[in-house]
Structure 1
Amino acid sequence: MSNVPELVLETMKSAEARGFKLSCEETVGRLLAALASAVPPGGRVLELGTGAGVGAAWLASGLGHRSDATVLTLERDPELAATARELPWPEWVEVRVADVEKELPELGRFDLIFADAEGGKWSGLDLTVAALRPSGMLVVDDMDLSRYQSTEHRESVTRVRDSILSDPRLVAVDLPVSSGIMVATKRHD
């Protein structure tokens, strides 16, 4: 892995040390960093599903040394959130323990959302789309059906894909790379 930001390397080491194997893949991370770099001044970034913090580290790295934007990452598992909080985050990154579907309606609007948890992606997707600002971008990974053996999981992924592609509020693309990535932009009302 060449040119991987230091914060990402630290989160990857932490994830590996704890045996956490569900971190976002490098291609997804690089996409997140690229999209985060375009967040406007005063912008807000949200990650649903912190895990060990790798996705949040890519998002923060994309923002660079900007202090005019914020990253909020939500994790329902208190132990995973505690692990992520141990990392050397910039002061404008917040790791919060939360039930995504309960918190999301109260969080306001975001310029970029990475939906990487069941809550907000497999269920509550409408809440996630509603939390996007006009021109806000949504990234959803783990959409490659071949990764799932369970009929239930395959149906959930298909439902999410179909919802994103058919939502009139969104302009979306399904990218068959890495773990399967979808990117959508929210239309102006």
Structure 2
Amino acid sequence: MAMSDVPGLVLETLKSAEARGFKLSCEEMVGRLLAALASAVPPGGRVLELGTGAGVGAAWLVSGLEHRSDVTVLTLERDPELAAAAREFAWPEWVEVRVADVEKELPELGRFDLIFADAEGGKWSGLDLTVSALQPSGVLVVDDMDLSRYPSIKHRESVTRVRDTILSDPRLVAVDLPVSSGIMVAAKRRD
């Protein structure tokens, strides 16, 4: 895909990630999926990103929301330096970058219409907390699920556990998409 069709804020965050040597940003296909799903968040909706990193995922989410001030985006980052760097961008006022331990804070945050789980907490551990934070009919996106990317048995076991949990959780209807870094998308059943 041409860089000319990548949103400006995404390009800024990608340049910052490269300058900082941060190599864990979400891939373009994941970002485009996030933008598409964010565009469908209902009025007054809430979006949560677990793992701000350099801000690339949040920038894709914002690009899908365009100028919708009726939606809030909260992105949580454990590393204070990364969070501070991410705060330097010109985010809309409805975006908040917060330093937080996801597993400690998640139970107090309420429910969300879209969650992108891209951090250790809330994905590799505490996944049940993340699913519980989804609104009925909310959507969960988890990336980095391609087993072939992990040389260590320990990492492959972790990925398999996350994939199996998402696919077998009776609260979710899920699909495993073997594209990009390996993407899982799940919708929470209505109560």
**One fold, TM greater than 0.5?**
yes
TM-score (norm 2): 0.98
Structure 1 residue 2: Cα displacement:
3.6
| Rounded Cα–Cα distance in structure 2 between residues aligned with 1:50 and 1:102 | 16
| Rounded Cα–Cα distance in structure 2 between residues aligned with 1:151 and 1:31 | 29
2:131 maps to which of 115, 124, 129: 129
Per-residue CA deviation, residues 110-154 of structure 1 (Å, 9 max, x unaligned), is 000000001000100000000000000000000000110111111
Per-residue CA deviation, residues 64-86 of structure 1 (Å, 9 max, x unaligned), is 00100010000000011011011
TM-score (norm 1): 0.99
Letter in 1 for 2:96: E
Give runs of aligned pairs for residues 108-187 of structure 1, distance below 5 A.
108-187=110-189
Residue 66 of structure 2 is matched in structure 1 by: 64
Residue 7 of structure 1 is matched in structure 2 by: 9
Residue 23 of structure 1 is matched in structure 2 by: 25
Letter in 2 for 1:71: V
Structure 1 residue 109: Cα displacement:
0.2
- Misfit runs of 4+, over 4 Å: none
The alignment partner of 1:35 has SS state of: helix
Letter in 2 for 1:124: G
Residue segments in structure 1 that go unaligned for 5+ positions in a row: none
Per-residue CA deviation, residues 35-63 of structure 1 (Å, 9 max, x unaligned), is 00000000000000000000000001100
Residue segments in structure 2 that go unaligned for 5+ positions in a row: none
Aligned pair count reads 189
Structure 1 residue 21: Cα displacement:
0.7
Structure 1 residue 91: Cα displacement:
0.6
